[in-house]
Amino acid sequence: MALFRTLSAAIQGIDAHVVEVEVDMYPAGTARDFVTVGMPDAAVKESRERIKSALLNSGFGYPSKSVTINLAPANLRKEGAGFDLPMATALLGAMGAVRPSEDFMLVGELSLDGSLRPVRGALSIAVCAARRGVANLLVPHENAAEAAVADGIQVFGLKHLAEVVQLLNDPAAFTATRPALPAANDSDPEMPDFRDVRGQTMAKRALEVAAAGNHNVLMIGPPGSGKTMLAKRLAGILPRLTFREALEATQIHGVAGVLPNGVGLLRQRPFRAPHHTISDAGLIGGGSGSARPGEVSLGHQGVLFLDELPEFPRGVLEQLRQPLEEGSVSLARSNGTLTFPARIMLVAAMNPCPCGFYGDSTRDCRCTPGIIQRYLSKVSGPLLDRIDLHIEVPAVPYKELRSRTDGQTSAEIRERVEKARDIQRERGFYNAQIPPSQLRHVCALDEQGEKTLEMAVRRLNLSARAHDRILRVARTIADLDHAANVLAKHLAEAVQFRNLDRNYWS
């Protein structure tokens, strides 16, 4: 047999697309050729040497003929070493060592001794295979738990090329990997608890409101006041991941190559805290060649924490506008546009000035008004408008710091948050994403509420976007209060969370 075909997949964004791997052998001339066509990148072209060594070291031999491998469709770019296994298997099929079958998709990198190395995006590839109607997926052993999460497909995790050949020739001798899904009674992973935080009652309340409505938060306060400590505990009061949310987050982490080996499904919401030296591509996504998800997408269904917000380059921060508004990132490339999910809770923290003590009652600020203004101007007004809650986190008084009284636990706060979110699910969206067309209906005000909101807009000179965000936050406070309507007291508390942008930036 000279012509043989196997199935594989190529990753674009977080989705995978089926690739047909065709091998043809023909008599060699003066030199044996090994040609790969179909828009392969450098890593795919280099597979020739890995495949040759893997076949020889696995005892299969190597053909004394010229080889042409076609990766179809030709207009889809193929990247990475994941095509090693399907190309080697197709070559073995052309040599007569493997029986033909349309029921298998293969992906994996080959070592020189024939062992299999893990690849990126195994879950996305499994979803693609199931959608195509392929019955079985062969992946490296380390990727099996991740890929097995997909419904409608059998996943086999293998360690060596020889095992692949045995399975293809005798599938009944192997057992598919069972998906390792968390049971309903499984305990949650250990996370930092809110009861460890002393004082900061106002900040805790604001984070509870933020978690209940999926709102973005900005915390301003001096060094050591507990901003980072509070942010790290936010993920612990967010509702547990649903299966669909966990599937989306796992796909993104798998494509980015940051999913730990052996992990099938993420069990806790992501918490990403990039350093302020991060580049545009690192935060938003992109890079040379195929675009990769950035930190904003890795935080999908979780928290993106930006500490020392003004230290981030302003150009990088401005690129957050689209994901904060739309919940996704679109990256334009010459061959098309890729879209990555980015439904995050943005939690930002900053000092009020470069030295950190502007407005502090116990320590003097050394910054001039001009220095303070330049520092604050690094965070633009349009970005501030996209952050729903602005809260002050002052230094903790000594008595509160040494108090032996424990605050509320994260579990107690999360119980209230989950009840508020249940109310929002019945509406079909979380409060931070209330569509403008339904805002007046969902956040209907009585006469007293209208007067409260009008006074706030006039006194604080709020933008139209800030007006809408106050209504959304007030709706969340009403849901935590189990109130059917938004009342004046809910609006008053929501307005309280919008004061700082005017106190500091006016």
Q: What angle, rounded to 10 degrees, do the helices at 464-480 and 488-496 form?
A: 120
* C-alpha closest to that of 240 among 187, 284, 203: 187
For residues 217 and 328, give the distance between their C-alpha atoms in angstroms, rounded to a whole number: 19
For residues 329 and 323, give the distance between their C-alpha atoms in angstroms, rounded to a whole number: 6
* C-alpha closest to that of 11 among 287, 263, 300, 256: 256
Question: Which segments of 194-313 does DSSP mark as H helices, in order?
Answer: 201-213, 227-232, 243-256, 280-284, 295-298
Q: What percent of the chain has pLDDT over 90?
A: 53
Q: What is the mean pLDDT of the chain?
A: 88
Whether 185 has a pLDDT exceeding 60, the answer reads no
Instruction: Tell me the average pLDDT across 47-72.
Output: 92
Task: Give residue 111's pLDDT.
Answer: 96
For residues 132 and 124, give the distance between their C-alpha atoms in angstroms, rounded to a whole number: 12
Return the CATH architecture of domain 194-431. Answer: 3-Layer(aba) Sandwich (3.40)
For residues 16 and 128, give the distance between their C-alpha atoms in angstroms, rounded to a whole number: 6
pTM of the model: 0.88
Is the domain covering 3-173 a CATH 3.30.230.10 domain? Answer: yes
> How would residue 92 be classed by pLDDT, with cut points 50, 70 and 90?
very high
- Domain-wise residue ranges, the chain: 3-173, 194-431
> How would residue 1 be classed by pLDDT, with cut points 50, 70 and 90?
very low
List, for residues 114-149, the tens digit of each pLDDT value. Answer: 999 999 999 999 999 999 999 999 999 999 999 999
Instruction: Tell me the average pLDDT across 46-65.
Output: 92
> How would residue 271 be classed by pLDDT, with cut points 50, 70 and 90?
very high
Q: Is 434 left (phi over 0), alpha (psi -120 to 50) or beta?
A: beta
List, for residues 451-492, the tens digit of each pLDDT value. Answer: 888 888 888 787 788 888 899 999 999 999 999 889 999 999
Question: Which segments of 58-160 does DSSP mark as H helices, in order?
Answer: 84-94, 122-132, 144-147
Same CATH topology for 3-173 and 194-431?
Answer: no
> How would residue 26 be classed by pLDDT, with cut points 50, 70 and 90?
confident
Whether 273 has a pLDDT exceeding 60, the answer reads yes
Instruction: Tell me the average pLDDT across 362-384.
Output: 87
Task: Give residue 182's pLDDT.
Answer: 62
> How would residue 248 be classed by pLDDT, with cut points 50, 70 and 90?
very high
Task: Give residue 357's pLDDT.
Answer: 86
Geometric angle at alpha carbon 369, from 316 and 226, rounded to 5°: 60
Contact present, 37 and 74 (Cβ < 8 Å): yes
Task: Give residue 360's pLDDT.
Answer: 78
Whether 441 has a pLDDT exceeding 50, the answer reads yes
